[in-house]
Amino acid sequence: MDASQQKVNEPKRYSNGDPNIVSNIIISYFDNPLAFALVGLTILLVVTRAASSRNTIPETAPDHNGAKTVAAVPYWLPYLGHLPNMAWDAAGFTQRLRDQFTQGVFALSFGATTHHIIYHPELATSLLNQKQNVASSEEVSKRIMTAVFGFPAEEHDKYDAALPELTACYKHILSEPSLGKMVAQTAQRTKGDIKDLVTGNESPVDQMPWEKTSKVRGSRDSTGETVIEASLLPLIRDFVAYTASPAIMGSDFLANNPTFFEDLWTLNDGFLLLATGLPRWLPIPTLTRAHIARKRLLDSLTVFHEALEKEASGETPGSKWSSLDDVGDLVKSRMPVYRKHGFSLRARAAVEHALMWAANANSDALIFWMINRIYADKALLAMLREEIQPFITGVQPESSLAFAEAPRLEKFDVQGLLTSCPLLKSCYLECLRLDTAPWSLRAINQDVVVQGRERDAQGWLLRKGGYAHAAHDLHNTDPRHFDDAMTWRAARHVRLEGDQKRATADTGSMRPYGGGSSMCKGRAFAFKECMMFAAAIIAMWDIQPAGSGEWKMPRHKKATGVYNTSDQTRVWVRQRQLSRPSTT
């Protein structure tokens, strides 16, 4: 008899003389290391589960005016807590908890730290309006500045000192007159570029940057007509990125760094891995690629800042930087702040890196979703074309010469689009509702009670040392707030207002841009660019699934705010049948 068989047979030894079967079985396990480990693990899980089940029912917290403690969701794994559930299916997991914990807030455990998840809009507002010393967003954003965007750790003190002035500069993208300048510049570029969304050029040398990344190729439909086939996500995302960014960075920057956005998307894919602060030598391909991309991004932004610095000190920045005067007001206004606080060029590059990410990671993808949702429904597309027609019209000039003239936009009345196209605005809002999942994170530095607006609304105690998230998507998909919540409905947000019963659309209880002091600084521009780009595309282009058949809605893939997708969305793009320009 060999050793392994002996081991298996051993338990019998005990059962011979002892009548107590249960204790025999238990004792027998001690001879089998695997079984022992399993029993140990089971006990650990059960104990963890039991211990973490103690606070599942809210209790009145002493000394907090009747505020209650937040219900803690039990978990099985010590330390990890709910992290595996979040990694597996964050949306499904949290939506089920929302439906179970109906009072607007519940608590999860990640890495032995309490995270309060707040989804009731009034409680979320109450959290976001707390002062920085109570519920701070700054630690989180400082960590991201360093770990993701590459801000030099040794310059943190300068960053803290400069932060109020840097924040004040955001008025240049939030309000007039700078915002209007940005919008006008973007409208001008859109007007110029929209006819080249696809060019049909075969050679990459002649293709536009957004065509290069979206694998365009010529094809023929069933009637033999020529169409251009392309991948819709990179096509729309990069078209918007290249067309809108010069309003912030000026025209030289992208001209000198034509692959900037490819690197920015690679960095974006590694965003969460970088944010965890994992060491760069770990063999995780997404992380390694993100590090390489970040180096190139920072290098190109450092060269940009070198040129700006030269110009500011009266030197000539060189022939590649001859039109720095069209750099946007926000970036220009930050220059004196950097100089005053002695920021290195690397530190300046990191701040602009964060800005370029914030300005593109969400809006470019949101416009992709708008295009998907709109073209998927032919009747909706027709209604929108009618709605925008007074403000934006594509025309086909008659060619008197031998060659065909390019189509163009005859009108581009941005103000009209923004104020008089409630259905298009409602589509934008509906995409913000369903195609984004931003969470606003706050570190809780003092015990604080969050509470709804009504006088005797229940207060909830968030204890010092934990974190709180305003989980905007849980509200946006809450069936108690939105009828048929998971269905995308174009006209959902349209309301009739005033005696004239004028149709309007507004954000209502949604907070897609966060809130409080860290609220999105680009929200005013984001709304305008989404309306402009969506309108320009639908005015000029027909898009349908490649091959034929129904539009297949791409599946959501979790990203930092607006959802991404891994689905290949190959489409056929062709120019719309346009009328002749009006003669007036």
Ligand X SMILES: *[C@@H]1O[C@H](CO)[C@@H](O)[C@H](O)[C@H]1NC(C)=O
Q: Residue positions in the annotated binding site for heme?
A: 520
From the list ligand HEM, ligand X, none, pick the one residue 440 interacts with, judged by a Cβ distance below 5 to 8 Å according to partner type: ligand HEM
Which of 407/554 has CB closer to ligand X?
A: 554
Residue 526 in tokens:
């984001």
Query: Quick one: which of 189, 211, 187, 188 has its CA closest to 198?
Result: 211
Q: Which of 265, 488, 541, 563 binds ligand X (CB under 6 A)?
A: 265
Which of 421/520 has CB closer to ligand HEM?
A: 520
Site string for ligand HEM, 515-534 (x = CB under 6 A): x--xxxxx--xx--------
Which of 61/244 has CB closer to ligand X?
A: 244
Q: Tell me if 566 contacts ligand X by CB under 6 A.
A: yes
Q: Tell me if 114 contacts ligand HEM by CB under 6 A.
A: no
Least Å distance between CB 431 and ligand HEM?
8
* Residue listed under structure tokens 């019998």: 12
What part of residues 199-258 is at the interface with ligand X (CB under 6 A)?
237
d(CA 151, CA 159): 9
d(CA 121, CA 457): 13
Q: Which of 197, 298, 359, 444 binds ligand HEM (CB under 6 A)?
A: 359
Least Å distance between CB 50 and ligand X?
41
What part of residues 155-194 is at the interface with ligand HEM (CB under 6 A)?
173
Beta strand 217-220 with 226-231: parallel, antiparallel or unpaired?
A: antiparallel
Q: Tell me if 245 contacts ligand HEM by CB under 6 A.
A: no
Cβ proximity of 166 and 336 under 8 Å: no
What part of residues 399-438 is at the interface with ligand HEM (CB under 6 A)?
436, 438
Least Å distance between CB 430 and ligand X?
21
Q: Which of 257, 512, 564, 571 binds ligand HEM (CB under 6 A)?
A: 512
Least Å distance between CB 94 and ligand X?
22
d(CA 486, CA 523): 24
Residue 482 in tokens:
């939105």
- CB neighbour class for 225 (10 Å; exposed up to 12, middle 13-18, buried from 19): exposed
Q: Give the angle subtended at the CA of 238 by the CAs of 188 and 527, to the nearest 5°.
A: 60
What is the rounded end-to-end Cα distance, in angstroms, of the chain?
Answer: 104
Q: Tell me if 317 contacts ligand HEM by CB under 6 A.
A: no
Which of 130/518 has CB closer to ligand HEM?
A: 518
- CB neighbour class for 485 (10 Å; exposed up to 12, middle 13-18, buried from 19): middle
Residue ranges of E strands in 323-407: 392-395
What part of residues 131-150 is at the interface with ligand HEM (CB under 6 A)?
137, 141
From the list ligand HEM, ligand X, none, pick the one residue 81 interacts with, judged by a Cβ distance below 5 to 8 Å according to partner type: none
Residue 260 in tokens:
């900037």
Cβ proximity of 478 and 485 under 8 Å: yes
Q: Which of 564, 569, 573, 575 binds ligand X (CB under 6 A)?
A: 564
CA 203 to chain centre: 33
Query: Quick one: which of 173, 158, 175, 517 has its CA closest to 351?
Result: 158
Name beta bridge partners: 105: 118
Q: Tell me if 268 contacts ligand HEM by CB under 6 A.
A: no
From the list ligand X, ligand HEM, none, pick the one residue 237 interacts with, judged by a Cβ distance below 5 to 8 Å according to partner type: ligand X
Residues annotated in a binding site: 520
What part of residues 363-402 is at the interface with ligand X (CB under 6 A)?
365
Q: Tell me if 363 contacts ligand HEM by CB under 6 A.
A: yes
Q: 391: which residues sit within 8 A by CB, 6+ positions away? A: 411, 412, 413, 414, 416, 417, 420, 421, 535
Q: Which residues bind ligand X (CB under 6 A)?
A: 237, 265, 268-269, 365, 564, 566
Q: Which residues bind ligand HEM (CB under 6 A)?
A: 137, 141, 173, 355, 358-359, 362-363, 366, 436, 438, 440, 512-515, 518-522, 525-526, 561-562
